Amino acid sequence: LFASVQLAPKDPIFGLTESYVADQRPDKVNLGVGVYYTDEGKVPLLKAVIKAEEAIVAKQSPRSYIPIEGPNPFNSAVQTLLFGAQSTLIQEGRVVTAECLGGTGALRVGADFIKRLNLNAPCAITNPTWENHRGIFESAGFEVIDYTYFDGQTRGVDFAGMVKSLESLKQNTTVLLHACCHNPTGADITEAQWAQVIEICKAKQLIPFLDIAYQGFADGIEQDGIAVRLFAQSGLSFFVSSSFSKSLSLYGERVGALSIVTQSKDESIRVLSQLKRVIRTNYSNPPTHGAAITAAILNTPELRKMWEEELAEMRDRIKAMRQGLVEKLAAAGVKQDFSFINTQRGMFSYSGLTAAQVETLQKEDGIYALSTGRICVAALNTKNIDRVAKAIARVLA
């Protein structure tokens, strides 16, 4: 039965972590991950999460099935977080939200839903993008194409190229957009540029699909939601996948949501009914625990405040590491301008390191990064940053 089964390639990110774990060097550093670490090199367990969890455990609730689309306290809190407490879309019943298994699950459920609309159009993703975007949409049966995004010279967005590329897409193409903290490059577009993207989506009748996996990691919860808010004002129907993996450090709980903005309450009712069919035939209904923690934090003012402070701490630490790396590279004698690392946002930076340089860092220094040169700035800390800067300076020399 399995004689002809080929060995699949390792997942580039999880595969790299396997190599890192097997590495015996005590001062090894894993910059290949997509996880936020504290200055002590640990995945944080947020105080707000501990508090919320204590209250949940004390209640001793039974674990029955929850609705196919997830619990309302969670779904409505997600809507408020994304669209704002005063959102007219929410008031008009034009947002459908379902708890999903992380941002990944939300993307997949969204992809399956769009596929069932039989639009016969591809899905367009940024070049480059998060590894899994292509796989998720291909698995859902889409042809996946790239659109221009990153400029290797400026290490920012090639916006003119992006516009040209988006304008060439065929009607009903699903356009996957990183709402903030672009993964893997850290390069985001400005508010004015988002307005232009919206106009193109309207003119070309594209289907916007916003992926927001790092809300709060660039400038703040509200500020990082700007793209979602602009789309909300646009009158377009669109999709949003959101994740609490990073912002609540709840990676393994798989907490995310898919929100679909429709044109009317009546449309919402029909869309939700179909969305439930997609979910029911996939995993039936979502898990209870992560969504309960998340809902408690978002809906309880005391916990919400605690979380916002902890999120700010994560954001500020990443910024300090960005600055530190730029300074330490210069101090180590690097002549190239690395100031772009301070401009890039979120957990990642496209460092410009070549695959060969990345390989040398891994072999000679036990410093792991992706072969594309993506480094996770959130894995730097005050103990490893000097060594990392010196090693990078050496491979660049």
Binding site for ligand PMP (CB under 6 A): 34, 102-104, 130, 178, 183, 211, 213, 243, 245, 256
Shortest approach of ligand PMP to residue 37 CB, angstroms? 14
Catalytic residue (choose from 158, 211, 224, 365): 211
Label residue 287 exposed, middle or buried (CB < 10 Å: 0-12, 13-18, 19+).
Answer: middle
Active site residue 211: yes
Active site residue 319: no
Active site residue 246: yes
Q: Which is nearer to ligand PMP, 156 or 256 (CB)?
A: 256
Task: Select from 169, 160, 231 the least CA-distant residue to 203.
Answer: 169
Query: Taking a C-beta distance cutoff of 8 angstroms, is the pair 113, 278 a contact?
Result: yes
DSSP state of 336: S
Categorise residue 321: left if φ over 0, alpha if ψ from -120 to 50, beta otherwise.
Answer: alpha
Shortest approach of ligand PMP to residue 237 CB, angstroms? 21
Shortest approach of ligand PMP to residue 279 CB, angstroms? 16
End-to-end CA distance of the chain: 53
Shortest approach of ligand PMP to residue 45 CB, angstroms? 17
Query: Taking a C-beta distance cutoff of 8 angstroms, is the pair 173, 140 a contact?
Result: no
Q: Which residues pair with 176 in a beta bridge?
A: 209
Distance CA 330, CA 78 (A): 42
Catalytic residue (choose from 194, 224, 246, 365): 246
Give alpha helix (H) positions in 205-343. 221-224, 226-234, 265-280, 289-299, 301-331, 340-343
Q: If DSSP codes are grouped into helix, strand and coil, which group holds residue 201? A: helix
Q: Which helix (H) or strand (E) holds 166?
A: helix 159-167
Q: Which is nearer to ligand PMP, 180 or 198 (CB)?
A: 180
Shortest approach of ligand PMP to residue 33 CB, angstroms? 9
Catalytic residue ranges: 130, 211, 246
